Amino acid sequence: MKGVRHYPGFLGITIACLVVLYAPLIVVTIYSFNDSNSITSWGGFSWRWYADVFTGPEADRFAAAAWNSITIAFLAATASTAIAVAAALAMIRGGRFKGKSATYALINLPLLVPEIVTAVATLIFFSTIGLTTGYLTILIAHITFCIPFAYLPIAARLSGIEETYEQAARDLYATRAQAFWLILLPLLMPGVISGYLLAFIISLDDFIITNFVKGAGMETLPTAIFGSVKQGIKPNIMAISTLMLAVSVLFVTLSYLVNRIGQKTRT
Amino acid sequence: MSTAIDIRSVVKRYGTTTALHSVGFEIGDNEFFTLLGPSGCGKTTLLRCIAGFEDVSEGQILLFGQDIAGLEPNLRPVNTVFQQYALFPHLSVIDNVAFGLKMKGMALDARRARAGKMLEMVHLSAFADRMPAQLSGGQQQRVALARALAPEPKVLLLDEPLSALDLKLRQAMRVELKSLQEQTGITFVFVTHDQEEALTMSDRIAVMSQGRVQQIGTARDIYEGPVNRFVADFIGETNLMEVDVTAISDGMADVILPGGHALRCPAAATTPGRHHLSIRPERVSLADGGEVTATVERVVYLGTDVQVMTRLPGGVPLSLRVQNSARIAIPAPGASVSLHLEEGAARLLAD
Ligand SMILES: Nc1ncnc2c1ncn2[C@@H]1O[C@H](COP(=O)(O)OP(=O)(O)OP(=O)(O)O)[C@@H](O)[C@H]1O
Ligand SMILES: [Mg+2]
Three-state SS sequence of B168-217: HHHHHHHHHHHHHHHHHCCEEEEEECCHHHHHHHCCEEEEEECCEEEEEE
Residue B74: list chain A partners with CB under 8 A: 170-175
List strands edge to edge, sheet with B78-81.
B78-81, B155-159, B187-192, B32-36, B204-209, B212-217
CA angle A44, A46, A47 (to 5 degrees): 160
The yes/no answer to whether this complex scores an ipTM above 0.90 is no
Which residues, at least 6 apart from A125, have a Cβ–Cβ distance to it below 8 Å? Answer: none
Contact A172 B51 (CB under 8 A): no
Across the interface, whether the CB atoms of B74 and A183 are under 8 A apart is answered no
Q: How far away, in angstroms, is B37 Cα from ligand 1 center?
A: 12
CA distances B350 to B154, B190, B242, B257, Å, are: 37, 27, 12, 17
Maximal C-alpha separation, chain B:
76
What phi and psi values does residue B237 have, to the nearest 5 degrees?
-105, 150
Torsion of CA A19, A22, A27, A29, to 10 degrees: -160
- Give the start-end residues of each E strand in chain B: 3-14, 17-28, 32-36, 58-63, 66-67, 78-81, 155-159, 187-192, 204-209, 212-217, 239-249, 252-256, 262-266, 273-279, 284-286, 292-301, 305-311, 317-323, 336-341, 346-348
pLDDT, averaged per 10 consecutive residues of chain A (267 residues), comes to 72 90 90 84 86 86 92 97 95 85 86 91 93 92 94 94 94 95 94 93 93 90 90 85 89 82 58
Please tell me the predicted confidence (pLDDT) of residue A235: 84
Distance B39 CA to ligand 1 centre (A): 8
State the first-to-last Cα distance of chain B, in angstroms, to the nearest integer. Answer: 32
pLDDT computed for residue A267 by the predictor: 38
pLDDT value at position B1?
64
Ligand nearest to the CA of B46: 1
Three-state secondary structure readout of B299-338: EEECCCEEEEEEECCCCCEEEEEEECCCCCCCCCCCCEEE
Give SS3 for B78.
strand
Check if the beta carbon of residue A158 is closer than 8 Å to that of residue A188: yes
How far, in Å, from the CA of B207 to the mean position of ligand 2?
14
- Which residue from A116, A167, A247 is spatially nearest to B86, judged by alpha carbons? A167
Looking at the complex, does the CB of residue A186 fall below 8 Å from at least one CB of chain B? yes
Tens digits of per-residue pLDDT, B62-80? 999 999 888 999 999 999 9
pTM of the model: 0.82
Per-residue confidence in pLDDT tens, chain B, 351 aa: 689 999 999 999 998 999 999 999 999 999 999 999 999 999 999 999 999 999 999 999 999 999 988 899 999 999 999 988 999 999 999 999 999 999 999 999 999 999 999 999 888 999 999 999 999 888 998 899 999 999 999 999 999 988 877 888 888 888 888 988 998 889 999 999 888 899 999 999 999 999 999 999 999 999 988 888 899 989 888 899 888 888 888 888 888 888 788 888 888 888 888 889 999 998 998 888 888 888 999 999 888 888 999 998 888 899 998 888 878 788 888 888 888 888 888 889 887
| CA pair distance B299, A204, nearest whole angstrom | 80
Whether ligand 1 lies within 6 angstroms of the CB of B53 is answered as no
Specify whether the CB–CB gap between A171 and B157 falls below 8 A.
no
Residue A220: helix, strand or coil by DSSP? coil
A208, A255, A203, A209: which is closest to A79 by C-alpha?
A203
pLDDT in tens, B216-253: 999 999 998 888 889 998 988 889 988 888 888 888 88
Closest residue by Cα to atom 7, ligand 1, is: B14
Judged by its nearest atom, the ligand closest to the C-alpha of residue B14 is 1
Using a CB-CB distance cutoff of 8 angstroms, which residues of chain A are in contact with residue B133? 265, 267
